[in-house]
Structure 1
Amino acid sequence: MELGLSVGYWSAGPPEGAAELVARADDLGLDSVWTAEAYGSDALTPLAWWGSRTERVRLGTAIMQMSARTPTAAAMAAMTMDHLSGGRFVLGLGASGPQVVEGWYGQPYPKPLARTREYVEVVRQVLAREAPVRHEGAFYPLPLAGGSGLGKPLRSTVHPLRVDLPIFLAAEGPKNVALAAEIADGWFPLWFGPSADAFYRTALADGFDRDGARHTLDDFEVVCPVPVVIDDDVERAADALRPEIALYAGGMGAKGANFHADVFSRMGWEAEVSTIQDAYLAGDRKAAIAAVPLAMVEDVALVGSEAKIADELARWEETVLTTMILRPDEATIRTIARLLGRR
């Protein structure tokens, strides 16, 4: 299992120390560096700016939101980044959720699976550069029918450095995970844990078994952010993550329309999720945080003493996970690398 660095998306401004840690990523022996975007900082600019100070690590977006760019614009950015990085770019894409897609980008959210399939088809067609791009799908017709009537198929002026530039997809539900296994080169889970491994292996197998699938489990990447808090007091360690888990399980989306809550419910925390959501949506954030039990945190994170985490890492290494993405904390990165037998 490889280790990556997540610098995420920004809150009020750039995360303190992230630029310096990205610059040290090669020295730390990390496999990859990942940025993200929601409705503030974008994923590409920090990756290009900070990534220019690295030489070996892969540079990936986890994720670029599809509603923020047309598929041809995403392909343009991917080809540009791949050339500038010497073939180290990974295009991570995701559909996001209806609150952001419709509330921030003003784009329709329905049918995200069909939309994702078309999006990736267009990106791959641009990367192949075999002919001017044409696409007759329901979501991304190229050239656009109607309009001025002057649109025509175009082929990228840039020759891609790699026509097989890797595309990863973020997915949480089983159908989305199967789609990632079918059409992508890697999958980004969120709030993954060893207890859910069998469930996701089944979903991935569904995608790998489809006609035209690009990979098998043996050469497919699963790259996941895993929160780590090292502290001899396990409850105090869990307290550092409870607010974030409460936000995702209880405060994102509406009740009955929160994909992150569904992930925890499938892991057996349905009753707890309901309590967390009721409190969070009622405005009682403190109660929502208090309703996150230690075992729920331990299902998706590594918390506690170094010895406890060392024991638990063995279970994580047995899962489908190929890269564990850690937050920008050099001490924690070095500890996890040592516990995994790295440098």
Structure 2
Amino acid sequence: MKLGYHLGYWSAGPPPGALDTVKEVERLGFDSVWTAEAYGSDAFTPLAWWGSSTSRIRLGTDIVQMAARTPTATAMSALTLDHLSGGRFVLGIGASGPQVVEGWYGQPYPRPLARTREYVDILRQVFAREAPVTLDGDFFQLPHPGGAGLGKPLKPTVHPLRADLPIHLAAEGPKNVALAAEICDGWLPMFFSPKSDAFYRKALAEGFARPGARHTTLEDFEVPASIPVILRDDVEEAADLIRPSLALYIGGMGAKQANFHFDLFVRLGYEETAHRVQELYLAGHKKDAVAAIPTSLVEDTALIGPAEKIKDELAAWEETVITSLLLRGDTSTLTAVAEILS
């Protein structure tokens, strides 16, 4: 597996020392660096700012939210970053969830897979620049059929550096994972576990087998996965650093009736735990929700503990569909982990 660095999205402000860390991971030979967005910092700007101090490492978004921008606006940012980086950009997109899409962006959420298909269609047209971009879809119409009635099909003025600029899709459910395999160049999993490998291989195979699929096997398809790696002698101490994030996503990152992260952990075999964590979190008992996360759940979705333990467990990850391990942490942590994993 290749190594990447995942900066994520900001909390109250920009992460301290981010530029120095980006420079260091490039020096260490990392393959890629990735940013994200939720409802605070955006993904494109930090990637351009910190990426401008690099020369080799690939620059990816994991992820930009589709509801945040029209497909052509996303394509414009992708074209621009690809030119500025000399062809190092990877566009990672995702549908997010109904709470964010409808609450933050004011966009309707239903039928996200159909919307994604149209979104990617438009991106491909822009990147190809073979003809003016048009689509008469259920969600996107180019040109707009109403308004002033003066809409005109257009091509981007910028000539793409790469017509095949890679598009990766974030997905958790089997239908969306299959869609990633069918129409994209990579899949961006969240909370991946080696125990789920067979489940996801089946979903990817379904997408590869569809008529007109962009890829037909895993041979030339990427699966970069953001995996927490915490190097500590004390396993429980390491798990405690991850439990709050797991409680947030299982319990509060989505409505009770529509939380895709919750569903993922149910499939992983933690149904009782997921219900308990969600119940506590939504009731405002966040500390209790954190405490309800068992160490086994953390270990299923992360690499934690002493160096030898991490080395031993890494073998199971190397047998999965994952092609890149995206690490988080400061410079010293990443340097130590890279040495363990090399």
Normalising to structure 1: TM-score of the pair?
0.98
User: How far apart, CA to CA, are the structure 1 residues paired with 2:126 and 2:253?
Assistant: 34
Deviation at 1:25, TM superposition (A): 2.6
Which residue number in structure 1 is paired with residue 51 of structure 2? Answer: 51
Partner of 1:42 in structure 2?
42
> Are 2:285 and 1:284 aligned?
yes
> In structure 1, how many angstroms separate the alpha carbons of the residues matched to 2:115 and 2:263?
21
Residue equivalent to 2:260: 259
| CA contact 2:24–2:331 (8 Å) conserved in 1 | no
CA deviation after TM superposition for structure 1 residue 336, in Å: 3.0
Match of 1:304 in 2: 305
Q: CA deviation at 1:53?
A: 0.2
**Aligned residue runs from structure 1 range 116-265, under 5 A:** 116-215=116-215, 216-265=217-266
For residues 40 and 115 of structure 2, what CA distance do their matches in structure 1 show? 24
1:333 Cα shift?
2.2
Determine the structure 2 residue equivalent to 1:88.
Answer: 88
Q: Deviations over 1:183-241 (max 9, x none)?
A: 00000000001011010000000000001111111111001110011111111110111
Gaps of 5+ in 1: none
Q: Is the 8 A contact 1:24 1:54 kept in 2?
A: no
Aligned-residue sequence identity (percent) comes to: 67
User: CA separation in 2, counterparts of 1:197 and 1:336?
Assistant: 23
| Distance in 1 (alpha carbons) for counterparts of 2:160 and 2:208 | 27
Find the residue that maps to 1:90 and give its secondary structure. strand
Task: Indicate the SS of the match to 1:26.
Answer: helix
User: Any idea what SS the aligned residue of 1:311 has?
Assistant: helix
TM superposition shift of 1:331? 2.8
Displacement of 1:301: 0.4
1:340 deviates by: 3.0
Q: Please give the per-residue CA displacement for 1:233-263, whole angstroms capped at 9, x wherever unaligned.
A: 1111101111110111111112231100111
Q: Is residue 25–residue 54 contact of structure 1 (8 Å, CA) maintained in 2?
A: no
CA contact (8 A) 2:188 2:224 kept: yes
Task: Check whether the contact 1:26–1:57 (CA below 8 A) recurs between aligned residues.
Answer: yes
Q: Does 1:275 align with 2:276?
A: yes
In structure 1, distance between residues paired with 2:289 and 2:149: 54
In 2: Cα distance, 1:20 partner to 1:328 partner = 12
Q: Distance in 2 between matches of 1:240 and 1:339?
A: 20
RMSD (CA atoms): 0.9
Distance (Å, rounded) in 2 between the aligned partners of 1:168 and 1:335? 29
Structure 1 counterpart SS, 2:141 = coil
SS in 2 for 1:324: strand
Q: C-alpha offsets along residues 66-116 of structure 1, whole Å, 9 cap, x if unaligned? A: 001100111111110000000000011000111111111101111000000
Distance 2:244 2:325 in 1: 21
2:73 is paired with a residue whose SS is: helix
The answer for the alignment partner of 2:8 in structure 1 is 8
Shift of 1:18: 0.9
Q: Which amino acid aligns with 1:192?
A: F
1:332 Cα shift? 2.9
Asked if 2 retains the 8 angstrom alpha-carbon contact of 1:18 and 1:328, the reply is no
Distance in 1 (CA, whole Å) between partners of 2:294 and 2:93 is 32
Q: Deviations over 1:255-296 (max 9, x none)?
A: 231100111110000010001011111111111011100100
Q: How many angstroms apart in 2 are the aligned matches of 1:32 and 1:321?
A: 14
Write the distance in 1 (CA, Å) between the matches of 2:50 and 2:20: 8
AA matched with 1:6: H
Moved over 6 A (4+): none
Code of the aligned partner of 2:263: D
Task: Name the aligned partner's letter for residue 336 of structure 1.
Answer: V
Aligned length: 341
Query: Could you tell me which amino acid in structure 2 is paired with residue 295 of structure 1?
Result: S
Opposite residue 341 of structure 2, the aligned amino acid is: L
Q: Which blocks of at least 5 consecutive residues in structure 2 are unaligned?
A: none
Verify: 1:313 aligned to 2:310, yes or no: no
Q: Which stretch shifts more, 44-53 or 19-28?
A: 19-28
Q: Normalising by the residue count of structure 2, what TM-score does the alignment of the two structures yield? A: 0.98
Judged with a 3 Å threshold, the aligned counterparts in structure 2 of structure 1 residues 67 and 147 are, in CA distance, closer, same or farther, namely same
2:19 match: 19
